[in-house]
Structure 1
Amino acid sequence: MSLKDTLNDTIKSAMKAREMDTVKVLRNVQAAIKKVEIDSQTELGDTAILELLQKQIKQRQESLEIYTANGREDLANKEQFEIDTISQFLPAQLDEAELVAIIKATILATEAQGMKDMGKVMNAVKEQTVGLADPAVISGLVKQALTA
């Protein structure tokens, strides 16, 4: 079952359970997927949808930080609910040790010598970890590995 089908089934279940907040969040995600599909004139696969979900979560995390810093707990709680709702569609995230192992293997495979090869390493690692890790975390670990 594709990720898009899972999303549709979850929306149907939430509608039957009258969880309108969940329905609203998932429909927004569905609309974002549809917008990208229309703009690119292609149907998105699971990996592209995972990337889009990560972007959606990142946007909400940035908003959450702003709301929390400004004392708007009501809006912060709403953003946290949306993050939790969207996160259920992402696979379990890799821990730092697993990421470091993937990065080291990729550096050896690509024969990267230093920071000049960061783009090559990042692209290879991103392909292996789509939806499994935050790209910002990956970037920081790749920088550490290439400068060490």
Structure 2
Amino acid sequence: MIRDDIKAAQIAAMKAGDKPTRGAISLIQSAIKNRDIEARTGGAPADDDALVVEVLQKMVKQRRESIEMYTQGGRQELADAEAAEVAVIERFLPAQMSEDETRAAIETIKADLGAAGMKDMGRVMAELKARHAASLDMSKASGLVKAALS
């Protein structure tokens, strides 16, 4: 499980005295713990790794937005710190599907659902998320789905 990998990486970072990595991993664990608390009010997650991947993807997205703002604001040292955190977080994410693999998955789902036009976009996106959420950036996928259905 991804949680076990994160815990092992934290222990390794502590033993190595790697403060930036240890700090980033502590942030990851904190975000996951917050998500667990939120999930308590709802039903139990069907797949723990999916929950962790969702949290990690959100963290990467937030940091990329921060990097962009810091760079525009002339604060390169802060952008570099955020980039270092992104590198640590991405170590725990599963490999992302390439654009060609994403297109192939969309075509398969289109055929399975019999999707023909833009009215089916919601169904295709829901099925794509159900099948490939952990290995796919859904924001990029929506553009590909739109192109495939138009």
* TM-score under structure 2 length normalisation: 0.93
> Where do 5+ consecutive residues of structure 1 fail to align?
none
Question: In the alignment, which residue of structure 2 is the partner of 1:45?
Answer: 48
Provide the rounded CA distance (Å) in 1 between the counterparts of 2:114 and 2:139: 22
Question: In the alignment, which residue of structure 1 is the partner of 2:5?
Answer: 6
Provide the rounded CA distance (Å) in 1 between the counterparts of 2:118 and 2:104: 18
Instruction: Determine helix, strand or coil for the equivalent of 1:98.
Output: helix
- Alpha-carbon displacement from aligned partner over 1:74-120 (angstroms, at most 9, x marks no partner): 01101110111000011111111110000011011111121111111
Structure 2 residue identity aligned to 1:30: Q
Q: In the TM superposition, what are the counterparts of 1:57-136 in structure 2 within 5 Å?
A: 57-136=60-139
How many corresponding residue pairs? Answer: 146
Structure 1 residue identity aligned to 2:85: E
Provide the rounded CA distance (Å) in 2 between the counterparts of 1:122 and 1:39: 24
Structure 2 residue identity aligned to 1:127: A
Give 1:131 shift.
2.5
Give 1:130 shift.
2.1
Question: In the alignment, which residue of structure 2 is the partner of 1:137?
Answer: 140
Q: Structure 1 stretches (4+) deviating beyond 6 angstroms?
A: none
CA contact (8 A) 2:35 2:55 kept: no
CA contact (8 A) 2:96 2:135 kept: yes
Structure 2 residue identity aligned to 1:50: V
Deviates more, 1:25-34 or 1:124-133: 124-133
Provide the rounded CA distance (Å) in 2 between the counterparts of 1:66 and 1:11: 29
* TM-score under structure 1 length normalisation: 0.94
**RMSD of aligned Cα (Å):** 1.2
Instruction: Determine helix, strand or coil for the equivalent of 1:131.
Output: helix
Structure 2 residue identity aligned to 1:86: I
Structure 2 residue identity aligned to 1:82: E
Deviates more, 1:125-134 or 1:57-66: 125-134
Question: In the alignment, which residue of structure 2 is the partner of 1:18?
Answer: 17
Provide the rounded CA distance (Å) in 2 between the counterparts of 1:128 and 1:18: 39
Question: In the alignment, which residue of structure 1 is the partner of 2:34?
Answer: 35
> Where do 5+ consecutive residues of structure 2 fail to align?
none
Provide the rounded CA distance (Å) in 2 between the counterparts of 1:92 and 1:35: 25
